[in-house]
């Protein structure tokens, strides 16, 4: 009986890890493309919120989760385009512009939700029949996230696009001299990062949950950024780092049942901060060991 319970707990922990890692994988892969091109993407959190809100609204209105998922990705791409214009064309500070996107998306969904549904806190509840489907207990979006890892690896290391992207992030002047349109490539990379990050947000609202709630990403965009740094901007290590952070979040479920010597449960707040504390530790301990693309954060001005 105890062995069955142990196996049951481990199985539940495995599925929870996959579930919690899924939005991180989408967002971190998106951030990888942007930062490999030389554009710091602090806006992952806001892009995820854009995808989550749009997917929830479209799915509720059309009863089609796939259309909702696609709409969320498109919304993320459009928002990322504005971010790219600010950073690439107007050479705005990339960190400040990214935080601006995050702040905008903390308030804009609430405003739109209030106008559409008379509720600033959340959108309408979506019927379970219209959420993203699951196969053998694994959500379709989770399967897509895992499949994207080898696809992104191949695109980054085995295609001309990937070679040009990496060259743009390391030495944009040399890439320009070789005939690469640096600005066009950076626009493409940032928009792609928005599409992927928004896919992670869409999963949160129509896969893991059944509605959009204000601030539902709960810092996952920043955790994805930490995973990206830990993984040194490489696709396969990104997957492993996201699984690690997903595991720490999944671990909070069984830890919530731990009792103190007084017989009371450990305060849930202490359990819930574990993933965020680990994020701070990772950023503090590994950021100096990870070599970022040399041109990361530096606007490129074409020499005349």
Question: Hey, what domains does the chain have and what are their CATH numbers?
Answer: 14-121+130-217 (1.10.3470.10)
Query: What are the φ/ψ torsions at residue 122 (nearest 5 degrees)?
Result: -160, 165
The tens digit of pLDDT for each residue in 215-273 reads: 899 899 999 998 999 899 999 999 999 999 999 888 887 776 776 666 677 777 777 78
Angstrom distance (rounded) from CA 50 to CA 45:
9
Q: Residue 236: count other Cβ atoms within 10 Å of its Cβ.
A: 12
CA distances, 161 to each of 165, 181, 269 (Å): 6, 11, 45
The tens digit of pLDDT for each residue in 143-159 reads: 999 999 999 999 999 99
- Residues 6 or more apart whose CB falls under 8 angstroms from that of 82 comprise 101
Angstrom distance (rounded) from CA 182 to CA 164:
9
Q: 220-230 and 235-255 helices cross at what angle (nearest 10)?
A: 130
Angstrom distance (rounded) from CA 205 to CA 130:
12
Read off the tokens for 2: 């105890």
Q: Is the dihedral of CA 108, 114, 116, 117 positive or negative?
A: positive
Read off the tokens for 215: 């601030």
Q: Collapse the DSSP code of 78 into the 3-class scheme (helix H, G, I; strand E, B; otherwise coil) and give the result.
A: helix
What pTM value is reported for the model? Answer: 0.94
Torsion of CA 129, 132, 135, 140, to 10 degrees: 170
Residue 287: what pLDDT? 62
CA distances, 135 to each of 138, 143, 162, 200, 281 (Å): 5, 9, 32, 18, 35
Residue 272: what pLDDT? 79
The ranges of the chain with pLDDT < 50 are 1-2, 4-5
Q: Are 155 and 161 in contact (CB under 8 A)?
A: yes
Query: Considering only CA atoms, which of 117, 96, 10, 9 is closest in space to residue 53?
Result: 117
Angstrom distance (rounded) from CA 303 to CA 274:
48
Residue 283: what pLDDT? 72
Q: Are 50 and 79 in contact (CB under 8 A)?
A: yes
Angstrom distance (rounded) from CA 99 to CA 287:
20
Angstrom distance (rounded) from CA 100 to CA 37:
21
């Amino acid at each position: 009986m105890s062995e069955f319970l142990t196996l049951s707990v481990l199985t539940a922990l495995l599925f929870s890890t996959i579930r919690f890692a899924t939005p991180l994988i989408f967002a971190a892969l998106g951030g990888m493309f942007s930062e490999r091109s030389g554009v710091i993407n602090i806006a992952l959190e806001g892009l995820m919120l854009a995808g989550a809100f749009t997917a929830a609204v479209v799915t509720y209105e059309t009863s089609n989760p796939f259309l909702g998922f696609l709409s969320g990705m498109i919304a993320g791409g459009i928002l990322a385009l504005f971010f790219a214009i600010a950073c690439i064309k107007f050479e705005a500070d990339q960190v400040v512009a990214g935080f601006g996107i995050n702040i905008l998306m903390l308030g804009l969904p609430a405003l739109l939700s209030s106008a559409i549904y008379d509720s600033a806190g959340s959108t309408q509840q979506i019927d379970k029949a219209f959420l993203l489907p699951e196969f053998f207990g694994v959500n379709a979006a989770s399967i897509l996230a895992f499949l994207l890892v080898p696809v992104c690896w191949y695109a980054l290391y085995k295609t001309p696009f990937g070679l040009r992207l990496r060259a743009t992030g390391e030495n944009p002047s040399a890439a320009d001299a070789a005939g690469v349109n640096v600005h066009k490539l950076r626009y493409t990379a940032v928009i792609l990062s928005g599409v992927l990050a928004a896919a992670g947000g869409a999963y949160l609202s129509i896969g893991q949950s059944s509605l959009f709630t204000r601030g539902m990403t709960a810092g996952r965009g920043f955790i994805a950024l930490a995973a990206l740094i830990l993984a040194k901007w490489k696709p396969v290590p990104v997957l492993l780092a996201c699984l690690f952070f997903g595991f720490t979040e999944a671990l909070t479920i069984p830890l919530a049942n731990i009792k103190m010597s007084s017989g009371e449960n450990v305060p849930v707040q202490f359990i819930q901060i574990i993933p965020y504390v680990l994020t701070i530790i990772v950023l503090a301990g590994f950021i100096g060991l990870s070599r970022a693309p040399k041109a990361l954060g530096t606007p490129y001005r074409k020499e005349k």
